[in-house]
Amino acid sequence: MKPKLEPVLKISRSWPYLAACALAFAAVSAHADEGMWTFDNPPTKLLQQRYHFTPAKEWLDHVRLSCVRLNDGGSGSFVSPSGLLLTNHHVARGQLQKNSTPAHDYIQNGFYAATQAEEMKSPDLEVNVLESMENVTARVQAAIKPGLSGKDALAARKAITAQLERDSLKATGLRSDVVTLYQGGEYWLYRYKKYTDVRLVFAPEQQAAFFGGDPDNFTYPRYDLDMALFRVYENGKPLASTNYLKWNAKGAADKELVFVAGHPGSTQRQDTVAQLTLERDLAEPTILALLKHRIAALKQYSARGAEQERQATTLIFGLENSQKAYIGRLEGLQDKAVFTKKQQEEADFRQRVAANPASQAKYGGAWGDIEAAQARRKELLIPNLFRRLDSQLGLYAVQLVQYVAEVKKPDGERLPAFHESQLDSLRYRLLSPAPIYPEMEKARLAGALEQSLTELGPNDEWIKTVMNGRTPAQVAADLIDHTKLRDPAVRKALLEGGQAAIAASNDPLIVLARKMDPINRQMTKAQEDNVQSVVDQAGEKLGEARFLVYGKDSYPDATFTLRLSYGAVASYPMNGTIAPPKTTFYGLYDRAAGFDNSGPFFLPSRYAEGRNKLDLSTPLNFVASCDIIGGNSGSPVINRNAELVGLIFDGNIES
């Protein structure tokens, strides 16, 4: 029997709530509930003051071990004692795409495994569970001797970080990552249990998961079933664990305290005004231009036919999602009130540091150092963004060439992502059996090269190396038509053959990657010597100063590591009215009817057929004042009892 999609009735009965969004700056309690807190430093005082609740260590440990990080860029949680894992449809979408074929489009039609035997193996999904955390600040800081230059301090920091990760991996067998918090005020060693046998159990149709499409994206009220279920296996059997989140059939009530436990990707809230100014004036607008161009190239390819549309849909979805997020970020940076507030906060910080002569002598120059580094970053930004091949096969080639060279070096001298503790995950991705579509690769590569040529100019060293007198379309055809890197066995042979195999290869992508490698390394060195080393050293000073001035009653910037946010389910003012704290299936059908069941507001036929079987008052989405960012997608929403009441899938434009 082929896997099939479960009737909508079963999902609606068993799944009462999906959290629509979490507002970092909404009028309800935006600033009151701001914060992405590490599990070693939860906001116990604030929680007790505002909600009369203090999470116990056992509560925190259970939640931590029930939550997961996915290498596809999202979060999730275990929801059964037999390895069932809940996340978003849009987080699972990459695996759905990789398993789809022209005959079985699981994104459009959904998937349901009626038995465990029908569950579908994910080609290259990795799940990480945070097993332990260790504060290694003293060991890192002891390795960075006083008086070192920025470059030497960076080298020392990289060496001790690699040593800590390598020693931990050897001692525990767990993936081990040193995480920088508070701009270098603290360093923590996070150890992860890794799972790679992950199988799809259920995903609804794309039209149900992303109902409302781009017009409704980053808005509320919403009516989306943005969820998917995987099952994690260990040694060929479903993972058995007592660490999972139990369902609460009542869901979350209006004004109830809720928590989000997930892995927010990256924030810049502790960046200086100089750093944010460059983001506002150059970095964000340039990234938006890059995204716009790549979306256009993929849409042009998608318009060739139904199969091309199927191949490109997930990439387009991801790029458009990023585009809308960057638009929101840029609008926030361009908001005078927001930027003025940041300037005032920095001025207050600097004044407090200056009030103590010893602190001023030690930390006062850090802001100027960071500002000076931004001038060099400005020069490097365009090359760093546009000296890249927008191609999965091109990425494989670059990583293979780098891999065989980096593993020969001492761990502390390697490029980022090539440290010993990261190699298993890197090899797993490099040898993925996921399908690669040559014609789409050519369209992506040619489109990106056109933009790179415009931005960098014909005399740029990288452009001359890649183009070699050809047009972007000719380069793409020459590379993609003749490469053999689509075959995982070929990639494996190159990986295992080491430098000799890479040097002997006449595969056009490997040949080009070898030629690009010195340029790539030169760019990395320029970034490290002129920007990263300066910002890291100055940032560490600011991190120490922040602790002296404000204590540890604050949270660090997001780093795609496990964080806890809190807030309340609540309505909020919008568009001259009030947004409801929840939406229901009544609203779903009404919104579809309001647009004549067309375009992004089309409902799959099963919804029309099953409408009379549903309790239309069943809540579908809700809104809460928890603080989230990209990477939190798929995070569980839990109550005081650590019971599952919802699932984060989006933020709104107000956040």
pLDDT (tens digit per residue) in 430-459: 999 999 999 999 999 999 999 999 999 999
CB 230 within 8 A of CB 541: no
* Residue-level pLDDT at 259: 97
Listed in order, the ranges of the chain carrying CATH 2.40.10.120 are 8-126+196-266+560-647
Could you tell me the two tokens for 477? Answer: 């055809």
Closest C-alpha to 257, from 71, 108, 49, 452: 49
Closest CA to 231 of 400, 338, 116: 116
Q: What is the per-residue pLDDT for 107?
A: 96
| SS3 letters across 112-128 | ECCCHHHCEECCCCCEE
Find out if CATH 2.40.10.120 is the number for domain 8-126+196-266+560-647: yes
Q: Is 569 exposed, middle or buried (0-12, 13-18, 19+ CB in 10 A)?
A: buried
The C-alpha atoms of residue 353 and residue 541 are separated, in whole angstroms, by: 11
> What pLDDT does residue 23 have?
27
Amino acid at 232: V
On whether the CB atoms of residues 492 and 482 are closer than 8 A, the answer is: no
3-state helix, strand, coil in the chain (%, to 5): 50, 15, 35
Neighbour-count burial of 431, counting CB atoms closer than 10 A to its CB (0-12 exposed, 13-18 middle, 19+ buried): middle
E-strand ranges in 139-219 read 175-181, 186-195, 197-203
Rg (alpha carbons) of the chain, rounded to whole number: 25
Helix (H, G, I), strand (E, B) or coil at 242: coil
563: enclosing H helix or E strand: strand 563-568
Per residue in 598-650, pLDDT (tens digit) is 999 999 988 889 999 999 999 999 999 999 999 999 999 999 999 999 999 99
pLDDT value at position 15?
35
What confidence score (pLDDT) does residue 24 get?
25
Listed as ranges, residues in the chain with pLDDT below 50 are: 1-32
Report pLDDT for 34.
85
Paired strand residues for 187? 180
What pLDDT score was predicted for residue 653?
76
pLDDT for 239 equals 98
CB crowding 34-43: b at 16 or more within 10 Å, else e: bbbbbbeebb
Q: Give the span between the Cα atoms of 205 and 488, in whole angstroms.
A: 30
The pLDDT tens digits of the residues spanning 578-598 come to 999 999 999 999 999 999 999
Separate counts of helices (H) and strands (E) for the chain: 25, 20
pLDDT value of position 553: 86
Please give the helix or strand (H or E) that residue 48 lies within, else none.
Answer: helix 44-51
pLDDT at 33: 77
Cis peptide before 458 (omega within 30 of 0): no
**Cα–Cα distances in angstroms (integers) from residue 505 to residues 243, 406, 445, 484, 500, in the given order:** 48, 18, 22, 11, 9
pTM assigned to the model? 0.92
